Chains A and B, each alone.
Chain A
Amino acid sequence: MEIIKISGNELAEYLHDESRLSGNAEYLVFAKSEADIQDAVEFCLRRDICLTIQGSRTGITGGSVPAGGLILNLERMNKILGIRRDEAGSYFLRCEPGLKLAELREILFSRQYDISDWTAAAKIIWQEFINSGKYIFPPDPTETSASLGGMASCNASGARSYKYGATRLWLSNLKTYNLSAIKQDKLVPKPDITLPSKGVKNAAGYYLSESSRDFDLYIGAEGTLAIITELEIKLLPKPAHCWGVIQFFAGETAAVAFCEELKQQSYTASALEYFDHNALNLLRKYRQMWDTLPEMASNWKNAVYYEYEGDETELIEEAVFKAGDLAEKAGSSESNCWFADAEAGIQQLKNFRHAVPEAINAELDVIRQKDDRISKISTDLAVPAGYLHKMLRLYRQAEQDGWQVIAFGHIGNDHLHTNILVSDYQKWLSAKKLVIEWAKAAIAAGGSVSGEHGIGKIKRDLLQLMYGEKGIACFRSIKQQFDPDWILNRGNIIEREPVPGD
């Protein structure tokens, strides 16, 4: 194992993630094997320094931003190790944690991979697999450079989770490097806290629902309990057809009413996403990010992206035309939309969706050149069905009060990412307070302070709001049992209780 000593300004890219939070560290290791991981952990234990795990650093809560000590970067552990088929005929791939979603997709698409190191049995199954049609891995956090380890650690979801659920559902096994011998079912005390209402997307704090799988606790633990060294992922036969539409509206009320209607339809959309007027205006400003698409008409204020998948074109067609009727009923028109029924067009629509957070980041980079204390303010609040109106009222009130509020994202799951862009530090401090008010409203409605991004280092205050002292104490005790020296991902989710006399 090679340990790189960090000095001066070099390797600065490994000190931050997409939240633009920046940290510091003394050492950097690019692990290539589990043996390297073990060496790195022992190195840290010997020196009593902490260790921060990194996948692709696309997280937006500072989870992979180092808090001193050593950075364990896993991007070079990116092999596929084998394949399995179960009795039901489903296929599973065993992967290293650094494998990027985009790399996995390319392999699934081309069905070409160097399997010379695999067992003879796995080689045979691979041959069957590549001859049995196309497969996908459904989780899709829109940022395809994310690593599988990072996605598991945040339990990432995204646009398509509306139909397919979060990453957890597509993980059939995990292998971890642990710092203690504790098992999930031996945890003391048994956690006793109030979870968000059923059906609410939740990535805040540890996973405490009943589960028969002993690895479930590591999913969404943001690397604070163990290091994920291997993942077995479940694949899904690729639906033969996918149709997508971006429908434009003249106002928020119409767009939201349309979404509510669409959710009632019997054929379930695979994605249902929202863009508010400020998101579209920002996209107009960053035209170069989506220039393969035509300009938007000036009266297109809000938009909804929806997607239908399946093997039967007739059913998809019926669903899409029904959606067209609903759009007209909500006051839009079937002319005010972009439609795609082939891969290339769908990619253009997805790129348009992905451009929203990218444009926000670009805006933020300009602001940060003037004052780098300002970091991203992006909410991840998820609420139970029927409560989104309440949240939207708060966002619009803030806009009337003069804030630049951009709301977009997973409206199908009542889960929008609402961003506030500010240009000076004092305003940034007040915006943080505003977010706390929003979070309180979401919690009161039975929602979660994080639907998918996790808590990381920048949302601990919100977690405290959600679960209170008792909840935090419970999380702390879990952390203590898995990682007695608090070596792993220090600062994520919860802080160590100050030791008296320290």
Chain B
Amino acid sequence: MNSIVCIKQVPDTTEIRIDPVTNTLIREGVESIINPFDLYAIEEAVRIKEKFGGKVTALSMGPPQVEKALRDAVALGVDEIILLSDRKFAGADSWATSHTLSEAIKKIGEYDLIFFGQQAIDGDTGQVGPGVSAFLELPQVCFVKEIVEISENSVTVKRLMEEGFDVIQAPLPTVLSVVKDLNTPRLPSLRGKRLAKNTQLTVWNADDLGLDEKEIGLNGSPTQVVKIFSPKLDKEVEKLEGLTSEEAAERIYHRLKELGK
């Protein structure tokens, strides 16, 4: 059972602050991490390998420093790592990203399952998994919360729904986007950390994938981000701090009465 896990390196949002003057993210000094949702995808692929044999390949598109995220994936049990890196890939939207990743997946060739995290915490689109399945013309299931069964030629999963779940069987190969309920990701071991240091990184550029400049990066992107801003809060928040529960209850009671007038 061979799996490919597509991962993204993102800034650690728990460390990100918004510059109150320019309204942009302060990225300086912020650690880069594997997109947290992707950790569940990696964990599941590694568990499947441990159970059924085969190998796990992690694939990522991004600048050269994404090597760190890929090596971190090796520390978690991934066997092979491929980085898609080329200046021409820059500025890709979710369409161009899906397209580029799907070409790389074709080049990898052998796979039964392709995993994605539910969404990346920086862009929050959740579209790349479905996009790849469309380009590859493969079935896909999003919001996978449990893998119930894997057989020679199919996979049965539970898909998280607003109330409850669906049970879906899909033929292999198939694309799965996973949610946090799926498992508890392991932490790397020192052995994994050593392997990560010594594993060979494969880097592919646009030529390696046989992609034309018009199909990739900014040129290949039909959508554009026009503006990013923090939404203005028109709710006024009052914080009651350092009060005993009785004092707080009393204060809230009077405040509500006042507001009701």
Contacts and interface: CB of A to CB of B under 8 A. Distances in A.
Interface of A: 10-11, 30, 75-76, 78, 109-112, 133-134, 245, 247, 291-295, 320-321, 323-324, 327, 333-345, 348-349
A267 to B, nearest CB: 16
A30 B187 contact: no
Nearest to B242: A76
Contacts of A291: 184
Given A30-B242, A336-B189, A343 B194 contact: no
A161 B189 CA distance: 26
Contacts of A294: 184-187
Given A339-B75, A343-B14, A343-B15, A320 B190 contact: yes
A340 B12 CA distance: 14
A335 B191 contact: yes
Given A30-B242, A294-B184, A339-B75, A112 B17 contact: yes
A428 B15 CA distance: 46
B151 interface: no
Interface string B147-189: 0000000000000000000000000000000000000111111
B242 A344 contact: no
A343 to B, nearest CB: 6
A335 B189 contact: yes
Contact of A342 (B33, B185, B194): B33
A344 B190 contact: no
A334 B191 contact: yes
B244 interface: yes
Contacts of A247: 190
Given A293-B184, A342-B12, A342-B31, A245 B17 contact: no
A344 B191 CA distance: 20
A349 B186 CA distance: 12
B192 A339 contact: yes
12 contacts: A76-B242, A111-B17, A134-B29, A245-B190, A247-B190, A294-B185, A324-B191, A327-B190, A335-B191, A338-B189, A339-B190, A342-B33
B193 interface: yes
Contacts of B12: 342-344
Scoring A133, A334, A335 by chain B CB atoms within 10 A of each residue's CB, the highest score goes to A334
A292 B186 CA distance: 9
Contacts of B250: none
Nearest to A248: B189
Contact of B190 (A324, A348, A349): A324
B194 A333 contact: no
B194 A321 contact: yes
A427 B185 CA distance: 42
Contact of B187 (A78, A134, A334, A345): A345
Contacts of B189: 334-339
Nearest to A340: B187
Q: Which A-B residue pairs are the 10 nearest by beta carbons?
A: A338-B187, A334-B191, A334-B190, A324-B190, A76-B242, A335-B191, A339-B188, A294-B186, A335-B189, A294-B184
A116 to B, nearest CB: 14
* Most interface-central of A11, A321, A323, A337 (chain B CB within 10 A): A337
A324 B33 contact: no
Q: How large is the interface on B (under 10, 10 to 19, 20 to 34, 35 or more residues)?
A: 20 to 34
A336 B188 CA distance: 10
A233 B77 CA distance: 44
A494 B99 CA distance: 75
Given A339-B75, A339-B190, A345-B187, 9 more contacts: A11-B244, A76-B242, A109-B15, A134-B29, A293-B187, A321-B194, A327-B190, A339-B187, A342-B12
Contacts of B191: 324, 333-335
Contacts of A109: 15
A321 B190 CA distance: 7
Interface in B28-42: 29, 31, 33, 36
Contacts of A292: 184
Contacts of B194: 321, 324, 334
A344 B17 contact: no
A75 B242 contact: yes
B124 interface: no
A133 B242 contact: no
A109 B31 CA distance: 13
Contacts of A111: 17
B246 interface: yes
A292 B39 CA distance: 12
A292 B12 CA distance: 17
A4 to B, nearest CB: 9
Nearest to A243: B193
A78 B242 CA distance: 10
Nearest to B184: A294
Interface string B35-71: 0100000000000000000000000000000000000
B17 A337 contact: no
A10 B247 CA distance: 12
A335 B193 CA distance: 10
Contacts of A336: 189
A344 B187 CA distance: 11
A247 B187 CA distance: 12
Contacts of A349: 187
A265 to B, nearest CB: 15
A243 B23 CA distance: 32
A341 B32 CA distance: 11
